């Protein structure tokens, strides 16, 4: 295909003055630096429209071959949440008591995590992201997707940022193993549950572990 056969449009881009770039970058950083993972959710309702905007924002993520290999399943139904919590706790009790080596549990101790997943029934919304490992071609044959882990990871990062930016909280919960989510949520075989995120307001007495983040000298290696 030659260049003039490609369907390309002008990039929508405005160059900003340095001062404005600096101001915007810092104000976004300040919002994101207040983000914390809490396990304590209030049951206060959140408008569906806000969750939809967060997913619309997540879905702007770049993805391998622009396949957008994700499905966000959004649950508010109380019975379904209870079913997911029961199934998650059934796996997690086994993980915490038998499957987790000591080298792993020593790291989780200060985070105060355990097999009890009350956040699944407390939060008004549960968002489960499924990673699509296959896609249907125009001729209806099935083909693979590309870089679906990376693509979904980026989409999740943007989702978390959107939730933080709108003034809500979320938690990245990884029940392990999480195959039960495909069954309960009736997703096809080529979709793999990647993460379960309760979304809502924090409980009035929500707590977080007293952690600090790495210094930039540990994170960045400049080579100028």
Residues that bind ligand IYR (CB under 6 A): 92, 108, 111, 113, 173-176
CA 80 remoteness from chain centre: 20
Residue 118 CA to residue 86 CA, distance in Å, equals 10
Query: Closest Cα partner for 199 from 83, 43, 92?
Result: 43
Q: How far is the CB of 219 from ligand IYR (least distance, A)?
A: 19
Per the DSSP assignment, residues forming a β-bridge with 146 are: none
Tell me how far, at minimum, the Cβ of 91 lies from ligand IYR, in Å: 9
Is the CB of 106 or the CB of 183 nearer to ligand IYR? 106
Nearer to ligand IYR, 123 or 145 (CB): 123
Nearer to ligand IYR, 91 or 191 (CB): 91
Contact 195, 128 (CB under 8 A): yes
Phi, psi of 142 (to 5 degrees): -95, 135
Q: Please, what is the minimum distance in Å from the beta carbon of residue 203 to ligand IYR?
A: 18
- Residue in the block written with tokens 């080579």: 223
Largest pairwise CA distance in the chain: 62
Token pair listed for 17: 């003055």
Question: Is the CB of 65 or the CB of 111 nearer to ligand IYR?
Answer: 111
What is the token pair recorded at 191? Answer: 């979709």
31 vs 93, beta carbon nearer ligand IYR: 93
Smallest gap from residue 96 Cβ to ligand IYR (A): 7
Least distance from C-beta 113 to ligand IYR, angstroms?
Answer: 4
Minimum CB distance to ligand IYR smaller for 4 or for 103: 103
HSE-CB for 77 with a 13 A CA cutoff: 9
Within its chain, how far is the Cα of 217 from the centroid? 27
Q: How far is the CB of 174 from ligand IYR (least distance, A)?
A: 4
């Amino acid at each position: 295909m030659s260049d003039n056969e490609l369907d390309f449009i002008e990039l929508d881009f405005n160059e900003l003055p340095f001062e404005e770039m600096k101001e915007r970058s810092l104000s976004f950083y300040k919002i994101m630096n207040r983000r914390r993972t809490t396990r304590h959710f209030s049951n206060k309702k959140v408008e569906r429209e806000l969750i939809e905007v967060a997913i619309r924002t997540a879905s702007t993520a770049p993805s391998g071959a622009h396949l957008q290999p994700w499905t966000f399943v959004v649950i508010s139904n109380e019975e379904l949440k209870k079913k997911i919590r029961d199934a998650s706790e059934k796996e997690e009790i086994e993980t915490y008591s038998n499957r987790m080596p000591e080298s792993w549990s020593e790291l989780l101790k200060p985070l105060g995590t355990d097999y009890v997943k009350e956040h699944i029934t407390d939060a008004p919304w549960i968002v489960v992201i499924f990673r699509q490992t296959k896609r249907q071609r125009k001729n209806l044959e099935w083909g693979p997707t590309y870089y679906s882990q990376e693509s979904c990871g980026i989409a999740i990062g943007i989702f978390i940022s959107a939730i933080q930016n709108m003034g809500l909280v979320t938690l990245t919960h990884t029940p392990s193993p999480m195959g039960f989510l495909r069954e309960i949520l009736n997703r096809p075989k080529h979709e793999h549950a990647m993460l379960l995120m309760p979304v809502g307001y924090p409980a009035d007495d929500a707590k977080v572990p007293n952690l600090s983040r790495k210094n930039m000298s540990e994170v960045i290696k400049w080579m100028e």
